[in-house]
Amino acid sequence: MRTVIGLEVHAQLLTKTKLFCSCSAEYFGASPNARTCPVCLGMPGALPVLNELAVEYALKAALALHCEIPPRSIFARKNYFYPDLPKGYQISQYEEPLAVKGHLDLPTGKRIRIRRLHLEEDTGKLLHRPEGYSLVDLNRAGVPLMEIVSEPDLDSPEEARLYVEELRRILRYLGVCSGDMEEGSLRCDANVSVSVDDQLGTKTEIKNMNSFRAIEEALKFEVARQKAVLQKGEQIEQATLTWNEITEKTELMRSKEEAEDYRYFPEPDLVPLQIEDAWREKMTESLPELPAAKQARWAHDYGLPAYDISVLTDERRIAEYFEEVVKIYNKPKDASNWMMSELLRLRKEAPTSAIKIAPKDFAHILQMVESGQINRNTGKEVIAEAFQTGKTPEAIVQEKGLSQIADEETLLSAIDRVLAENSKAVADYKSGKEAVVGFLQGQVMRATGGKADPKKARELLMRKLTAL
Ligand SMILES: [Zn+2]
């Protein structure tokens, strides 16, 4: 049996204002209905005006996904009644979308075709109260969305997840969508069917998957369910399902009989959207280096392992940070280790705080460790401090007296003390147990608060021991 999956991703565009009015599009956390006006409340006679930046963002995404941009696209009314839709229709694009026929390459190398990419407005939100009534919040009504529809080229739940991950990465690189799935900035619906022979099976649609895990789990569940039905010799019913995260099951939302007829027709209040060549070229030129291109270049330029590359290029800011670091500290693998083990760890511990340490300062700390000015542990300490305060490494080392001790006199006096306090270990050494050197060196490090230059300390320790 063959699994066929197609995905529809709704991505909220990062514009300041809504798609057809000047209300703020940043509705998250705002008090209910505070971000509304006659246009997005659907008052009679209010007229929509298209947000130019939303078009630019959608164009950038379309170009990054290698889409064709027809010179003209039109907005359409998608009619249906639901209390979160004040006009009784949603302004979307139907027969002539903004972009068509693109593709996205998965990290595995497989190419997934993109059928279309279009602009539409979001709906409001309903809050269903346990008391038995619902509240309407229209802050989200009119927020710009971009819908990206793939061809049914995905053949497993794992591949579907990879597709959404890569798409999200691209949109975040472009800066057109935050990709925050928990806040609903990136939403995904899936069409899935299982076919017994080469004929395409009857498909079901799954809605309400709002994490990568949910996408994979919902699809796994649905594929297994369809296979079980077909194995019993029964038919799959065409239906719209919803994913229940708590029970981890798909549930019936509506059957084929209840399928909506949206009676699409061209939106009479908006003129056709024309994308001139100059505009399209300007958008093409504004595209940053995209994740896949960056990964290929890094493998060539830096010779890093694939794992390091995938971790460090996941987010554009971190990738560019790394590029700045290696401009100064030209040891990519070493810099990569430090960034993954220190910088990314610190950020994971404090995800909301900004990274205050500048790339040049990060590179400088690595240089200081390499030259022996500070040891590795001190290097980590300085990174942690600079991460929070943005102070330069020199200032931190000076303030905290963290410089490494390489001065012979100071080291020798510490060694003398250690040898005097550990006569048993010294005796062991004399009787041929060379392994105690490591222990004694550890004691010297401890006696100097971890600041002794390890190489120098070992050299002096050995000199002392052999002279005994
Ligand atoms: Zn408004």
Alpha helices in 175-285 (DSSP H): 212-231, 277-285
Separation CA 289–CA 287 (nearest Å): 7
* H or E element that contains 206: strand 204-209
What distance in angstroms lies between residue 410's CA and the mean position of ligand 1's atoms?
72
Binned at pLDDT 50, 70 and 90, residue 199 comes out as: confident
Averaged pLDDT of the chain: 93
What distance in angstroms lies between residue 25's CA and the mean position of ligand 1's atoms?
9
Number of neighbouring beta carbons within 10 Å of residue 406: 15
What distance in angstroms lies between residue 141's CA and the mean position of ligand 1's atoms?
8
What distance in angstroms lies between residue 179's CA and the mean position of ligand 1's atoms?
23
- Coil, strand or helix at 91: strand
What distance in angstroms lies between residue 128's CA and the mean position of ligand 1's atoms?
23
CA distances from 310 to 330, 343, 385 (A): 20, 16, 27
What distance in angstroms lies between residue 87's CA and the mean position of ligand 1's atoms?
12
pLDDT in tens, 247-256: 999 999 888 7
What distance in angstroms lies between residue 37's CA and the mean position of ligand 1's atoms?
4
Separation CA 163–CA 322 (nearest Å): 25
What distance in angstroms lies between residue 123's CA and the mean position of ligand 1's atoms?
12
Separation CA 188–CA 11 (nearest Å): 9
More confident residue, 463 or 258: 463
What distance in angstroms lies between residue 18's CA and the mean position of ligand 1's atoms?
7
Binned at pLDDT 50, 70 and 90, residue 200 comes out as: confident
Rounded to 5°, angle at Cα 218 from 253 and 125: 50
For the domain 408-467, what is the CATH code?
1.10.10.410
Residue 233 main-chain phi, psi, to 5 deg: 80, 15
Binned at pLDDT 50, 70 and 90, residue 410 comes out as: confident
Separation CA 359–CA 256 (nearest Å): 56
What distance in angstroms lies between residue 311's CA and the mean position of ligand 1's atoms?
40
Amino acid identity of residue 255, one-letter, is S
Which residue, among 196, 108, 118, 110, has the nearest Cα to 153 in the 3D structure?
Answer: 110
What distance in angstroms lies between residue 330's CA and the mean position of ligand 1's atoms?
51
Number of neighbouring beta carbons within 10 Å of residue 380: 18
What distance in angstroms lies between residue 287's CA and the mean position of ligand 1's atoms?
30
Binned at pLDDT 50, 70 and 90, residue 406 comes out as: confident
What distance in angstroms lies between residue 283's CA and the mean position of ligand 1's atoms?
27
What distance in angstroms lies between residue 23's CA and the mean position of ligand 1's atoms?
4
Separation CA 121–CA 25 (nearest Å): 11
Number of neighbouring beta carbons within 10 Å of residue 155: 13
pLDDT in tens, 306-329: 999 999 999 999 999 999 999 999
Sign of the four-CA dihedral 398, 400, 403, 408 = positive
Binned at pLDDT 50, 70 and 90, residue 195 comes out as: confident
What distance in angstroms lies between residue 264's CA and the mean position of ligand 1's atoms?
23
Mean pLDDT within 186-205: 89
Contact criterion met (CB below 8 Å) for 158 and 181: no
What distance in angstroms lies between residue 329's CA and the mean position of ligand 1's atoms?
50
In 51-178, where do the E strands start and end? 72-73, 75-79, 89-93, 99-105, 111-121, 125-128, 134-137, 144-150
128-142, 404-418, 449-463 — most confident range: 128-142
What distance in angstroms lies between residue 127's CA and the mean position of ligand 1's atoms?
20
What distance in angstroms lies between residue 253's CA and the mean position of ligand 1's atoms?
30
Contact criterion met (CB below 8 Å) for 141 and 21: no
Q: What is the pTM of this model?
A: 0.86
What distance in angstroms lies between residue 143's CA and the mean position of ligand 1's atoms?
9
pLDDT in tens, 8-39: 999 999 999 999 999 999 988 899 999 999 99
Residue owning tokens 């595209």: 287
What distance in angstroms lies between residue 97's CA and the mean position of ligand 1's atoms?
24
What distance in angstroms lies between residue 187's CA and the mean position of ligand 1's atoms?
22
What distance in angstroms lies between residue 140's CA and the mean position of ligand 1's atoms?
9
Residue 388 main-chain phi, psi, to 5 deg: -85, -35
Domain extent listing, the chain: 2-281, 289-400, 408-467
